[in-house]
Structure 1
């Protein structure tokens, strides 16, 4: 290997270690726990989701739309009323949370979903994501093998 190649490899390794090595200091973590703050648990920066509460939220009618999640996506998130609606059961919680946040912020465009997501706070989004992620999945790739 040339000196340049070795330097690039060393730099890449250093960057990888730095990126992977960033963690919350124990003192900060303990201070957060003592303050009663919920730990952040997802890549969306949300608190830990509670599937049982998410189940209740999934069946609660939205005041603006008159619809609940289960009205369109099915009780377990696997029986949407229209084939163009996504199956939510078994989907990754972080994916579901990111999608709901995007609908809430207006970064994802769907009038019904924007109205559904708008009143949700971060904890409710985490709870809904945890519930649908906990359901059996029927997701598959385009080949139908997975």
Structure 2
């Protein structure tokens, strides 16, 4: 196989994997479940398991995303953010945005 052909095949595979990640990031409801958010915040973000945990449904998406990103970066350290830090450590910004978008639409 020529070098150009190998490069094109490698690029196609990489772009395919990137596309799969992006399509997953577009499904906030599935990500909410896959990332175990419901464990503490309840189904659809409506029923937290402890009074200290916030209800997430219907919140402004920019606010939700900012809070998750601030916890992930360490910028936010108050409240129960220490418990959340491990949960958002492996959640990409695109996935955070998708989850925030989903939660903002749940009534």
Q: Under a length normalisation based on structure 2, what TM-score does the superposition of the two structures give? A: 0.70
Alignment partners' CA distance in 2, 1:81 and 1:128: 19
Whichever structure has more helix as a proportion of its residues is: 2
Structure 2 unaligned residues grouped into runs of 5+ = 1-24
Matched, 1:101 2:72: no
1:86 corresponds in structure 2 to 54
- The structure showing larger relative contact order (alpha-carbon pairs under 8 Å, at least 6 residues apart) is 2
Given candidates 55, 63, 81, the residue that maps to 2:29 is 55
Alignment partners' CA distance in 1, 2:37 and 2:83: 11
RMSD: 1.3
Runs of 4 or more above 4 Å deviation: none
What is the Cα deviation at residue 94 of structure 1? 0.2
Matched, 1:114 2:73: no
Alignment partners' CA distance in 1, 2:75 and 2:93: 16
Q: Under a length normalisation based on structure 1, what TM-score does the superposition of the two structures give? A: 0.52
Report SS of the residue matched to 1:80.
coil
- When Rg is computed on C-alpha atoms for both structures, the one with the higher figure is 1
Residues 15-94 of structure 1: matches in 2 within 5 Å?
Answer: 50=26, 53-61=27-35, 68-94=36-62
Alignment partners' CA distance in 1, 2:34 and 2:93: 17
2:102 corresponds in structure 1 to 131
Query: Aligned residues, how many?
Result: 80
Alignment partners' CA distance in 1, 2:73 and 2:89: 8
